[in-house]
Chains A and B, each alone.
Chain A
Amino acid sequence: MSETPALRVDDVHVAFDDTSVLDGVDLSIEPGEIVALLGPSGSGKSTLLRVVAGIVMPDSGSVHIGRTDVTRQPTHQRGVGMVFQDNQLFPHMSVLDNVAFGLKMTGRPRPDRERIGRDWLERVGLSGFADRRVTELSGGEAKRVALARTLAPGPNVVLLDEPLTGLDRELHDRLADELARLLRSAGVTALLVTHDADEAATIADRTVLLADL
């Protein structure tokens, strides 16, 4: 391998209350690569994503983002972005404030934040939604806002936890295409967790089975 992988997971073990969830998992993703992680529900896919994000601490093993060992780093210092299955938009903030939240955390001045935020809203097809309340959005709109919010700060690695689960078929297919296009145009490295092989094929460059890791 010539290049340093964008994300490397080495021999990660996680157990909850003596039940082993991840048992020696290895995974490596090249820069700009979109990888789908496939497996039945309850197999530990989401846990692996949470280990990468720093939400769950592994009992052993290591996580590297670029050249940095982030295993002991708190979530907010890892430079990862994550789209949650149920979006987790902040209900007390407007659409624009949600999208610009990550930029605010990096200390960008307000005019910058608003410009970049509005730009991202346009890219996900929601220009004009800036001042809406997030509680008034439809399922598809909320998903797009979540995606824009994750991508706006320019994370090193994007993690997507079953982002399209629970949407109706038609919306699901349309969003899957859109998601693939957006991730590619942004040129990000992404790890997508899903239990839907078609979805994996549509969005990802490479599909891996958790059972094989």
Chain B
Amino acid sequence: MNRLPRRLVGALAIGPIAALGVFYLWPFATLLAEALTGGAVSDTLTRSQTWDVVWFTFWQAMVSTMCTVAIGIIPAFVVARFEFRGRRLLVGLLTATFVLPTVVMGAAFLALLPDSVDRTVWAVIGAHVAFNLAVVVRVVGSLWEHLPTDMEHAAATLGASRRRTLTTISLPLIRPAITAAATIVFLFTFTSFGVIRILGAPGTRTIEVEVWRRATQLGDIGGAAVLSLLQLAVLAVLLVWSTTAQRRHSRALALEATAPRRRPRTTAQRRFVALTAGAAALVALVPLGALVARSFSTPTGWSTNAWTDLGRVEVRPGIRVGTDPVEAIANSLTTAAWATAFAVAVGALASLAITAAGRHGRLIDAGLMLPLGTSAVTIGLGMLITFDVDPVDWRASWWLVPVGHALVAVPFVVRTCVGVLRSVDPAMTAAAATLGAGPVRAWRATVVPYLWRPLAAGGALAAAISLGEFGATSFLSRSGGETMPIAIEQLLGRTGTTLQAQGYVLATILAAVTIALVVAVDTIQGIVDARVTGE
């Protein structure tokens, strides 16, 4: 066998495994211990306030999910079935909304809604719907476009009206996709943190917000730990249910490669497509438009002051507020640079190890995906309570926040790279061996070169994640070290239009940078796909 020496695979794997152990598993164990000692469990679970929070978290997530699915299914159909100008742009727009940092989305809705509605649960639900529309459109749409159009025609020739065709044929057949999309949306809205911190009223707290409040405002670490474990348990149950439900309802469909999309032919069809696409585009564009507009608006009219005076604001002559927007931008850039470096280094080693190690690789792969299933707030809390005693009192270390961000980003880097590395034809390595290359040499010549481009895409993704990260940062960031999302939350929470306008300026900048990074990721991945498939 022409296999890589074990020592090399071990050397590749040791770094990622150590990082996972120190910065994820250990904090998680601390969290578990904290929750299980000193009667925290019974204290927390017998408090009626806890169940109020759990109930609120549940119902707002349920309503958000149902609204998102009900609204998203229409553009999903249009995107799957019709070919029209701007179709790809529309999907891109919705996706761009989805990848925006949660605080930016919260800020956008705060900017959009009148004062009487913002900071209510309805504002929160509205933001959740707009945010997650892309999930439904993409997940449901991608199954729908494989459903043969003639299946619907067959129902019509048997006398089924359009509504009955939808309810008896199309919806039952795309049900697995609807379940999958609903699960994802529920997961995101159940663990909603940034949106609620910006938009929620004092009484509207999700479990995530309550974890943060207990840990950082009330000093009740035990209670916070219990709540984060409770949330984890709920999510685990949900995932198990969703997986079985999807398996039960998935059909052996004779799916077409892609059912041909047609241009709308009748006037009614053209109107329907235009109306749906227009409405969906508005959902994506209007909140962002409001965000930009508010950064230029003052009580006396339009002004560029918030942009030009960024960082030079004095509440009264000589008195400045604690949050410095310019410093926040600098902090964010430094943090993102280091977080990207950490995530890329760990992700690259891990991806190579995973693909080289065969069966053991799957174990490393699964381990590195764990942080993805844990909310950022839980990760932040775990790190906060673990690294606060000598000799590991790292709370003041500059690298703790970037490491937290990297932990959230590594799964994305690994996913981007592993797929590409796995698709490298083993015959190429074998060919190199027949030409006289030893195992390591052959691997370096045929596998490693494929790492760089997906790694670049993963790096850009890591940078975007770090720039927008709010959950873990809420625990780990220290005064003076605020990143942009933290500064946005602080500025928008203050009274006074000048400060708020600056919050909107920061949110606009963050939105623009994030979208630019995600477009870069998309472009790089397009090139990677083309290279791998040899087109």
Residues of A within 8 A of B (CB): 17, 50, 53-55, 57, 74-82, 84, 86, 88, 90-92, 101-102, 105-106, 135, 149-150, 153, 155, 159
Say yes or no: B150 contacts A57, CB within 8 Å: no
Q: State which of A54, A57, A74, A81 has its C-beta within 8 Å of the C-beta of B158.
A: A81
Q: How far, in whole Å, are A77 and B156 apart by their CA atoms in the complex?
A: 8
Q: State which of B160, B169, B254 has its C-beta within 8 Å of the C-beta of A86.
A: B254
Hey, which chain A residues are within 8 Å of B161, CB to CB?
A: 74, 76
A36 to chain B, nearest CB (A): 19
Say yes or no: B265 contacts A57, CB within 8 Å: yes
Say yes or no: B252 contacts A81, CB within 8 Å: no
Hey, which chain B residues are within 8 Å of A76, CB to CB?
A: 156-162, 164-165
Hey, which chain B residues are within 8 Å of A159, CB to CB?
A: 157
Hey, which chain B residues are within 8 Å of A105, CB to CB?
A: 158-160, 164
Hey, which chain A residues are within 8 Å of B169, CB to CB?
A: 90
Hey, which chain B residues are within 8 Å of A90, CB to CB?
A: 151, 154-155, 169, 173
Say yes or no: B251 contacts A92, CB within 8 Å: yes
Q: How far, in whole Å, are A90 and B173 apart by their CA atoms in the complex?
A: 9
Q: How far, in whole Å, are A116 and B159 apart by their CA atoms in the complex?
A: 17
**Is B263 in contact with chain A by the CB < 8 A criterion?**
yes
Hey, which chain A residues are within 8 Å of B168, CB to CB?
A: 101
A126 to chain B, nearest CB (A): 18
Say yes or no: A135 contacts B252, CB within 8 Å: yes
Q: How far, in whole Å, are A149 and B151 apart by their CA atoms in the complex?
A: 13
Hey, which chain B residues are within 8 Å of A102, CB to CB?
A: 158-159
**Is B253 in contact with chain A by the CB < 8 A criterion?**
yes
Q: Mark B141-152, 1 if CB is under 8 A from A, else 0.
A: 000000010110
B406 to chain A, nearest CB (A): 45
Residues of B within 8 A of A (CB): 148, 150-151, 153-162, 164-165, 168-169, 172-173, 251-254, 263, 265-266
Q: How far, in whole Å, are A106 and B153 apart by their CA atoms in the complex?
A: 17
Given contact pairs A76-B161, A86-B150, enumerate 9 new A-B contacts (beta carbons under 8 Å).
Answer: A55-B153, A55-B156, A55-B157, A57-B266, A74-B156, A75-B157, A88-B153, A90-B155, A135-B251
A92 to chain B, nearest CB (A): 5
Say yes or no: B254 contacts A91, CB within 8 Å: yes
B141 to chain A, nearest CB (A): 20
Q: How far, in whole Å, are A149 and B169 apart by their CA atoms in the complex?
A: 15
Say yes or no: A82 contacts B154, CB within 8 Å: yes
Say yes or no: B148 contacts A92, CB within 8 Å: no
Most B-side CB within 10 Å, residue of A53, A76, A149: A76
Hey, which chain B residues are within 8 Å of A50, CB to CB?
A: 153
Say yes or no: B160 contacts A91, CB within 8 Å: no
Knowing A91-B173, A91-B251 are in contact, say whether A54-B148 is a contact too (CB < 8 A).
no
Q: How far, in whole Å, are A82 and B154 apart by their CA atoms in the complex?
A: 7
Hey, which chain A residues are within 8 Å of B251, CB to CB?
A: 91-92, 135
Knowing A90-B151, A91-B252, A92-B251 are in contact, say whether A153-B158 is a contact too (CB < 8 A).
yes
Q: How far, in whole Å, are A178 and B19 apart by their CA atoms in the complex?
A: 70
A71 to chain B, nearest CB (A): 13
Most B-side CB within 10 Å, residue of A53, A77, A84, A88: A88
Say yes or no: B253 contacts A91, CB within 8 Å: yes
Say yes or no: B157 contacts A106, CB within 8 Å: no
Residue of A nearest to B153 (CB): A55
The 10 lowest CB-CB distance pairs between A and B, nearest first, are A105-B159, A75-B156, A102-B158, A88-B154, A82-B157, A91-B251, A135-B252, A76-B156, A88-B151, A88-B150
Residue of B nearest to A149 (CB): B158
Say yes or no: A53 contacts B157, CB within 8 Å: yes
Hey, which chain B residues are within 8 Å of A77, CB to CB?
A: 159
Say yes or no: B150 contacts A84, CB within 8 Å: yes
Hey, which chain A residues are within 8 Å of B165, CB to CB?
A: 76
Residue of B nearest to A146 (CB): B154
Say yes or no: A101 contacts B156, CB within 8 Å: no
Say yes or no: B153 contacts A53, CB within 8 Å: yes
A122 to chain B, nearest CB (A): 20
Say yes or no: B157 contacts A74, CB within 8 Å: no
Q: How far, in whole Å, are A92 and B248 apart by their CA atoms in the complex?
A: 11
B369 to chain A, nearest CB (A): 32
16 A-B pairs with C-beta separation under 8 A: A53-B153, A53-B156, A53-B157, A54-B156, A55-B157, A57-B265, A74-B156, A78-B157, A86-B150, A90-B155, A91-B173, A92-B172, A101-B158, A106-B159, A135-B252, A153-B158
Residue of B nearest to A161 (CB): B150
A186 to chain B, nearest CB (A): 16
Q: How far, in whole Å, are A82 and B254 apart by their CA atoms in the complex?
A: 19
B250 to chain A, nearest CB (A): 10
Q: How far, in whole Å, are A88 and B162 apart by their CA atoms in the complex?
A: 17
Hey, which chain A residues are within 8 Å of B151, CB to CB?
A: 88, 90
Residue of B nearest to A78 (CB): B157
Say yes or no: B153 contacts A101, CB within 8 Å: no
Residue of A nearest to B152 (CB): A88
Hey, which chain A residues are within 8 Å of B173, CB to CB?
A: 90-92
Say yes or no: B153 contacts A17, CB within 8 Å: no
Q: How far, in whole Å, are A57 and B154 apart by their CA atoms in the complex?
A: 16
Knowing A88-B153, A90-B169 are in contact, say whether A17-B158 is a contact too (CB < 8 A).
no
Q: How far, in whole Å, are A80 and B157 apart by their CA atoms in the complex?
A: 6
Residue of B nearest to A100 (CB): B158
B147 to chain A, nearest CB (A): 10
Hey, which chain B residues are within 8 Å of A80, CB to CB?
A: 157
A14 to chain B, nearest CB (A): 10
B152 to chain A, nearest CB (A): 9
Q: How far, in whole Å, are A88 and B252 apart by their CA atoms in the complex?
A: 13
Say yes or no: A81 contacts B157, CB within 8 Å: yes
Hey, which chain A residues are within 8 Å of B172, CB to CB?
A: 92
Say yes or no: A74 contacts B164, CB within 8 Å: no
A72 to chain B, nearest CB (A): 10
Hey, which chain A residues are within 8 Å of B265, CB to CB?
A: 57
B261 to chain A, nearest CB (A): 13
Q: How far, in whole Å, are A80 and B158 apart by their CA atoms in the complex?
A: 8
Residue of A nearest to B266 (CB): A57
Most A-side CB within 10 Å, residue of B153, B172, B266: B153
Q: How far, in whole Å, are A155 and B148 apart by their CA atoms in the complex?
A: 23
Hey, which chain A residues are within 8 Å of B158, CB to CB?
A: 76, 81, 101-102, 105, 149-150, 153
B362 to chain A, nearest CB (A): 31
Hey, which chain B residues are within 8 Å of A101, CB to CB?
A: 155, 158, 160, 168
Residue of B nearest to A82 (CB): B157
Q: State which of B154, B162, B252 has its C-beta within 8 Å of the C-beta of A74.
A: B162
